[in-house]
A and B are shown apart, each in its own frame.
Chain A
Amino acid sequence: MTRIRIAKTLWGALAIIIAIAWVFPVYWMVNSSMLPTSTLESFTPTFLPFGGSLDNFAAALADGDFYSALGMSVAVTLITVFFCLLFAFFAAVAISRFRFRGRKSFIIAVLLVQMLPAEGLFIAQYKMMASVGLLNSVIGVSIIYIAAVVPFTIWMLRGFVAGIPADLEEAAMVDGLSRTQAFLRITFPLLAPGLVASGVYAFLQAWNEFTVALVLLPAESAQTLPLWLRGFVQASATRATDWGQVMAASTLVAVPVIIFFLIVQGRLTSGLVSGAVKG
């Protein structure tokens, strides 16, 4: 027995060492964001943020472009989340509550197109938006985001809609509620967790997206947060980088994402490998 216990302790120690190594970059971002440039310039790294301050955050926030990038990101993200949920909800109801010709082809098509990489499409998307004057506009980039995110949102919501028995709604209608009332009072509350999970997924995609934004938003005034953040790294090629400020900027972009991500993580995994985990 003792040999097994020793082995278990050793494995446990290994797991903790790996955990520390894995989380280190995230820790390092926060640590560096609080240290002054003079400390970061030293050849010996400082591993704990003692004597740190929030000066780097103040400096990053003082960058005038931050607020325009924040506004742009918020606008694009809100539009994407709203229309994704709306369109995906309709489609999810269609494929889980109705049997019709072309249903299976639609599901296959949805699963296939969600895999199409932006790298294989951005040249055409650029030409398309340029020809209708939607470069550097919230609308242009949002259209592409909705199209890119809606397939997986449909797939995710489908499971939730299918999980709500249609009898429930019908029973409520027998009890005298109208179809709309039955939907709003019975189905909608049951669906809320699914809408939240899908909405957060759409939020993460739109908030983090870099490739399409780079192509469709070439003007500096139209940058989203990821492009703003990249600007810091680009600048580092020509002049000495203020790493403390870059890390503060990265932390500002990452924190809302990390919080929202932790909310939906479980749903995300099960959506991507749905069914296969049942064993």
Chain B
Amino acid sequence: MKRIPQALLLPALLILLVGLGYPVGWQLVTSLQEYGLAQQFGRPAPFVGFANYLELASDPTLWAVVIRSIVFCVVTATLTLVVGMALALLMMAVGRIPRLILQIALLLAWAMPVVAAMTVWIWLFDRRRGVINYLLDLIPGVDMNRFNWLEQPSTFFIVASIIVIWMSVPFVAFSAYAGLTQVSEEVLEAAQLDGASGWQRLKNVILPMIRPVIMIVFLLQLIWDLRVFTQITMLQDAGSKSGAFDLLGTYIYKLGTRAQDFGMASAVSILVLAITIALSWFYVRSLMKEEEA
């Protein structure tokens, strides 16, 4: 009888060990081995200590990918947060009907499966018949006819960022709006009576009150914007597969599938996991704090 809770946890624990635990362990071991093409054909993998990590640390390509991924992640997550917050404030400012229309629009965008959303966006940004080039071309003095967005890494990542922001803003906007509705009317009225302007009320009353929500939502965005493998892969399908268009996910995938270098791929994977766990730690800590409160 005493072991009931442990028995109840057993199936979940087992599946987590098989599906996540073992792969993490295998990667830790493999990242310390030389595991290339020869090992694919059964040659034993020699232990090389931190050689893979050292090689990565001195690899300019990897550094470029890491920096690109972090910049992409931070910029996209920040813009998502700003736009999401702005939309949440807008929802507070308008009447019931415009609010409902905006909420339905955001929900529909949020509900789109990633792969379907990607096909639509690739079609919207299509060089020749895409609506975006057509509309931009209508602006006097702008010549966007047949402009290929996916040709240059700079515009490629702008497109990727726009798509990710489009997908992520609804979650931020709804969470922030839920937080805002909890801010009491009386406090706001009191601040207004004390002569606080709209901007002052936002900065000194509203934002501090919904800070916990904003922090959690921002951390989730950072974690999620590191894993944009699907989006980048599909944009590469429509554009170029060259290394200049890689973020960490696609970089690891290419190391594993093309170069068949599992030792190096594992080392980069461990790096990704380490970044994610470091970010998640803050997230879990703030959730647990709420849990105990």
Contact = CB atoms under 8 A, between A and B. Distances in A.
A and B held together in a complex: yes
B102 A233 contact: no
B37 interface: no
A113 B16 contact: yes
A214 interface: yes
Interface in A231-279: 232-234, 236-237, 243, 246-247, 249-251, 253-254, 257-258, 261-262, 265, 269-270, 272-279
B287 A275 contact: yes
A183 interface: no
Contact of B237 (A83, A106, A123, A233): A233
Interface string B218-261: 00100100110110011001100000000011001101100000
B280 A123 contact: no
A15 B8 contact: no
Contacts of B168: none
Interface stretch (B19-27, B46-54, B58-66, B152-160): B19-27
A82 interface: no
A26 interface: yes
B142 interface: no
Contact of A279 (B91, B169, B183, B234): B183
A241 to B, nearest CB: 8
Contacts of B85: none
A14 B113 contact: no
Contacts of A111: 280, 283-284, 287-288
B154 to A, nearest CB: 21
B32 to A, nearest CB: 14
Contacts of A106: 9
Contact of B121 (A13, A25, A98, A261): A25
B238 A237 contact: yes
Given A43-B134, A146-B15, A258-B111, A117 B276 contact: yes
Interface string B107-120: 11111111111111
A262 B290 CA distance: 27
Given A100-B6, A121-B24, A243 B123 contact: yes
A146 B109 CA distance: 26
Instruction: State the main secondary structure of chain A at its contact with B.
Output: helix
B101 A19 contact: yes
Contacts of B23: 121, 124-125, 128
Interface in B197-228: 209-210, 212-213, 216-217, 220, 223, 226-227
A115 B11 contact: no
B248 A148 contact: no
B161 interface: no
Interface stretch (B74-82, B188-196, B266-274): B266-274
B266 A277 contact: no
B139 interface: no
Nearest to B134: A45
A53 interface: no
A143 to B, nearest CB: 5
A15 B99 contact: yes
B94 A93 contact: no
A10 to B, nearest CB: 10
B72 interface: no
Nearest to B281: A112
B149 interface: no
A18 B101 CA distance: 10
A147 B16 contact: yes
Contacts of A122: 252-253, 256
A112 B116 contact: no
A214 B114 CA distance: 14
B287 A233 contact: no
Nearest to B217: A273
Given A12-B95, A147-B20, A150-B12, A120 B269 contact: yes
B93 to A, nearest CB: 5
A201 to B, nearest CB: 13
A208 interface: yes
B122 interface: yes
B259 to A, nearest CB: 11
B8 A93 contact: yes
A200 B134 CA distance: 39
B104 interface: yes
Contact of B112 (A13, A93, A230, A257): A257
B19 A146 contact: yes
B185 interface: no
B12 A247 contact: no
Given A144-B19, A273-B216, A124 B277 contact: no
B15 A107 contact: no
Q: Can you list the 5 inter-chain pairs with the closest CB atoms, starting with the nearest?
A: A147-B19, A275-B290, A124-B23, A279-B182, A119-B249
Given A18-B87, A45-B131, A128-B23, 8 more contacts: A28-B120, A43-B129, A107-B291, A111-B284, A123-B255, A143-B18, A154-B12, A250-B116
7 contacts: A11-B90, A11-B93, A19-B106, A91-B12, A116-B276, A120-B269, A148-B20
